[in-house]
Structure 1
Amino acid sequence: MRRWLVALALAGTVVMLLGGCARPHGADGDLTDDWPTLREPKMFIPATDACLPRITAVVQAGTYETVDCARSHLAETIHVGIFTDPAIDAGPRPEAGTPVLRVARAECDQRAREVLGGDWHSARLSLTIALPSTSAWASGARWYRCDLSETDSIDNTRPVNRVGSLRGAMVGDSPLTHRCFDPKLIGANLNYMAPVLCTEPHRAEFVGVYTERDMTWAEFIRSNQKVHRRCMGLIAEFAKVPNNSELPYRAGSIFYPPSQREWDEGDRGVRCFLWSDDRKLTRSMRGAGPKGLPAS
């Protein structure tokens, strides 16, 4: 009797198992064609028109973070471009401060001007390029990110926290724009430029930016006199005085070139300042003319 019960129990089990394998009504018996197609994984690309709580030269998808531009942030992504040069595509990931990034920096520079409404060199701003990680590059990522940041001063280009987007920040009378300065000297050497109101006593004023010709960094640092003459031309135009032999008796120049890293990436924007050696100024020299900026 016990054997019979066991046999019935086993038989019932087999029936149940076999019943589990029976084809339901309307099924075709193919277990491979009814699953939804899996989506192909998408390559991570950072967002544009987004603000960032921190600045990184390399962007990792796992730690990528954005914040509302109405909140405190350190940078704003104004553009994300794609490398299209086959030589770049086939090679290793470009490194910061290398000529390979010239095309990217030129594109970032143009986009920055469009977003700001002016030349970022003329203001307390910095423009940096961020790249994918080496592993992402090896997996096919070919993007570069253009980030704008507000800086502390012309001398201290460390990014500072700000609230609000930089879009349109250079339209009109912008507080970011370089204006008048009272340079602090150590002996005959410039230590730093203290920003002041143009109605306060000062000896220097920002007059503009010129684009230097293409040359190596070593060649540029040997070209001080040529840079000085280019800036003197901007001073004459700014102050509306003749660019002649009397100009050196009216004013001198101070200039700020890009950093070597920026230069090697293709930035050629040189910032020029009027320098008054013999007297303090208490107004802007814009359009001052020969009487406002006399030869002495």
Structure 2
Amino acid sequence: MRRWTAAVAVGGALALGLTGCGLPAGVDGKLTNSWQPIPEPTPFVPPAEVCHSGDFAETAYLSSYSPVDCTAPHRTETVHVGAFGAAVAEAAEPPAQGSAEIRGAYAECDTKASEYVGGDWRSGRLWIGVAVPSPAAWEGGARWFRCDMTELTNVEDNGGTASRTASLRDALAEPSPLHLTCYAVRNDSNGAIDTMPAEQCDKPHNAEFAGVWQAPDIPFPTQDRDWAQFHAECRKIIGRYAGVPLDDNLQFRTGVISLPGGATEWAAGNRGVRCYLWLNERNVSRSLKGAGTDGLPIQYE
């Protein structure tokens, strides 16, 4: 009886089909011809304008990616995310630090970082680095690079990273404690510069930040003749800052401190050299910006 009932049910279904019972509107009875193809998986690309609680790392792993709100304590901030060009796309692994590809990425980060903070980032206690995807992410198609910025406690004495609770967006657009200003340079027993802690410009000091020289693509200085070029170019920066003639007497008006980043940063593409006027043993209690020849007189002894 159960088999007969089932047969009747099937027969009834066939009868309905034969009597012309139509399909619902929009249904053509073909199961697969309207399916959209499954899209290719896309690799994760980190966003910009987010902060991270940890220190900068050259390789960014998705497993450790845990951004925090920039009002929470953090040590780095992503100010820009770029993409490597087609020439890099076929590489089997991420570009190595110091490679031409990283130098190109650094140049983009350099420009974008200054735009982000509202002024030349080297005029503040700031540092930038280029982070690349992990080898696994690269194999999965990731071709981005991340421009991360860190506040330093002191750029002159190789200071450490500072913890922040605010974004660096437009941090240098207005006068800020981040800006480099005046310094009390201290010499060692041999007369060489030992330390140069920051000092308020209305307090006794003997050095002042004057600006940045963008060096050409030359080797990192290791010998006196290399440094001579750096000092000569920084003296020009100082002369314009103080408003004194850029003549042969400039060397008798002020000493100079030329501070590029370290050799590793230089290899990565950082060609910015911070330039400071230096009065050696003579102290002043005001800024020498625009001070002219009265502010930087020729020192005959």
State the TM-score, normalizing by the size of structure 2: 0.83
Match of 2:180 among 178, 181, 196: 178
Relative to 1, partners in 2 of residues 1:34 and 1:123: Cα closer, same or farther, differing over 3 Å?
same
Q: Could you say which residue in structure 2 is the equivalent of 1:49? A: 49
Q: Could you say which residue in structure 2 is the equivalent of 1:4? A: none
Q: How big is the shift at 1:29?
A: 11
Relative to 1, partners in 2 of residues 1:38 and 1:221: Cα closer, same or farther, differing over 3 Å?
farther
Q: How big is the shift at 1:281?
A: 1.0
Q: Could you say which residue in structure 2 is the equivalent of 1:204? A: 207
1:225 aligns with 2:195: no
CA distance in 2, matches of 1:39, 1:129: 31
Q: Runs of 5+ in structure 1 lacking a partner?
A: 1-10
CA distance in 1, matches of 2:294, 2:221: 40
Match of 1:276 among 270, 275, 279: 279
Alignment of 1:1-20 (within 5 A): none
Match of 1:169 among 168, 171, 179: 171
Q: Could you say which residue in structure 2 is the equivalent of 1:130? A: 131
1:141-193 Cα offsets, whole Å, 9 max, x none, are: 11100011111102234221101111100012121110000012212222221
- Answer whether contact 1:99 1:264 (CA < 8 A) is retained: no
1:233-261 Cα offsets, whole Å, 9 max, x none, are: 11111111112222222111011112112
Matched letter for residue 46 of structure 1: P
Moved more, 215-224 or 81-90: 215-224
Matched letter for residue 214 of structure 2: T
SS at 2:108 equivalent? helix
SS at 1:79 equivalent? strand
CA distance in 2, matches of 1:106, 1:189: 33
1:160 aligns with 2:162: yes
- Answer whether contact 2:92 2:139 (CA < 8 A) is retained: no
CA distance in 2, matches of 1:268, 1:35: 54
Q: Could you say which residue in structure 2 is the equivalent of 1:148? A: 149
Relative to 1, partners in 2 of residues 1:222 and 1:94: Cα closer, same or farther, differing over 3 Å?
farther
1:262 aligns with 2:268: no
Relative to 1, partners in 2 of residues 1:94 and 1:237: Cα closer, same or farther, differing over 3 Å?
same
1:249 aligns with 2:252: yes
CA distance in 1, matches of 2:149, 2:90: 25
Matched letter for residue 51 of structure 1: C
CA distance in 1, matches of 2:298, 2:264: 39
CA distance in 1, matches of 2:86, 2:138: 14
Q: Runs of 5+ in structure 2 lacking a partner?
A: 14-22
Q: Could you say which residue in structure 2 is the equivalent of 1:6? A: none
Moved more, 123-132 or 59-68: 59-68
CA distance in 1, matches of 2:262, 2:96: 16
1:106-145 Cα offsets, whole Å, 9 max, x none, are: 1101111111111111110000111101111122211100
- Answer whether contact 1:83 1:89 (CA < 8 A) is retained: no
Identity %: 38
SS at 2:194 equivalent? strand
CA distance in 2, matches of 1:258, 1:267: 7
Moved more, 272-281 or 214-223: 214-223
Q: Could you say which residue in structure 2 is the equivalent of 1:189? A: 192
The number of aligned residues is 278
